[in-house]
Structure 1
Amino acid sequence: MERGNSKHSPRVDEQMRQEVLGTVQGIAGGRAEEWKMAEPAGEDQPESTRTLEAESANALSRFGRYIGMSAMPGDRDALRRSAETLDAPDDVLADLDTLPDGVTFHTVTEIWAVPRTS
């Protein structure tokens, strides 16, 4: 015997199920109280970060694969040693060699932002 709600017809039960589907499954468009909704960014919020073009993002991703997280924060020599340990290709090693001496880098994007001289 199928258990069901005896107060509503199967059609009304299905309609009610559809109404709460977004809330139950977390799909966008689910009903929420106004006070629970995120507010838009205000004047005191930092500006959004710029996005990279697809080709530049792929190059950054490839470059970042050869910079070990254990090398950061680190200077040019520490980053070079880490890249050598991760068998970085010659072009990545050459890019690391162009970094300024005595500067400590904390993220791959900081390294990537340094203008290349070659």
Structure 2
Amino acid sequence: MVMEHGTDKTGPARDDVMKRQLRGQLTAERSLRTDEQRELQPAGEDQPVAAWSPESDFRGGTPSGMTEQDVGLRSELAQHLGRSLYPADKNTIIETLRRNNAPDRLVTMAERLPAHERFGNVQSIAEAVGIHTEHRRT
């Protein structure tokens, strides 16, 4: 009569044989850790601190002349406008924001744009509505 060992498909004798075969690999005369030069290095002191979670506030990496809120607002504006819009005038920008279900605050901001001006990119729109932009290097 053959005894069942639950979900184990091998018996106790086969388990002992397998343990002996693996013992050499488990107690190898080698380091089980990675080489020191292959371990991840901590970020340098001059590097910005990254946020640990996508839901957290944006930290570090903000260009000089901008706040975290400015970067987030400009990024959100760019997401709702897309890339194929430019050059665009005020009405086209407002229509695109509404079509892409942008928040009301972005539409209200776009309504403050000058009427007879064409904008070549998000940067020029941000400057026109008063969002701080990064300082250019000279």
The TM-score with structure 1 as length reference comes to 0.52
Are 1:110 and 2:130 an aligned pair?
no
Q: Structure 2 regions of 5+ residues with no counterpart?
A: 1-36, 38-62, 131-138
Query: Per-residue deviation at 1:69?
Result: 1.9
Selected match of 2:92 from 74, 78, 91: 78
Instruction: Determine the C-alpha separation between the residues in 1 that align with 2:87 and 2:64.
Output: 23
Instruction: Determine the C-alpha separation between the residues in 1 that align with 2:83 and 2:103.
Output: 18
Other-structure match for 2:77: 63
Structure whose CA Rg is larger: 2
CA contact (8 A) 2:90 2:113 kept: yes
* Equivalent residues in 2 for 1:1-118, closer than 5 Å: 50=64, 52-116=66-130
Q: Tell me the amino acid that sits aligned with residue 114 of structure 1.
A: A
CA contact (8 A) 2:77 2:106 kept: yes
Q: Tell me the amino acid that sits aligned with residue 113 of structure 2.
A: L
Query: Per-residue deviation at 1:50?
Result: 4.8
Q: Structure 1 regions of 5+ residues with no counterpart?
A: 1-17, 19-48
Query: Per-residue deviation at 1:64?
Result: 1.5
Size of the aligned set, in residue pairs, is 69
Instruction: Determine the C-alpha separation between the residues in 1 that align with 2:64 and 2:124.
Output: 14
The structure in which a higher percent of residues are helix is: 1
Task: Give the secondary-structure state (helix, strand or coil) at the position aligned to 1:66.
Answer: helix
The TM-score with structure 2 as length reference comes to 0.45
Instruction: Determine the C-alpha separation between the residues in 1 that align with 2:64 and 2:117.
Output: 24
Instruction: Determine the C-alpha separation between the residues in 2 that align with 1:51 and 1:98.
Output: 22
Instruction: Determine the C-alpha separation between the residues in 2 that align with 1:80 and 1:115.
Output: 13
Instruction: Determine the C-alpha separation between the residues in 1 that align with 2:66 and 2:84.
Output: 25
CA contact (8 A) 2:110 2:129 kept: no
Identity of aligned residues (%): 20
**Deviations 1:2-32, CA, capped at 9 Å, x for gaps:** xxxxxxxxxxxxxxxx9xxxxxxxxxxxxxx
Q: Tell me the amino acid that sits aligned with residue 118 of structure 2.
A: T
Instruction: Determine the C-alpha separation between the residues in 1 that align with 2:70 and 2:106.
Output: 14
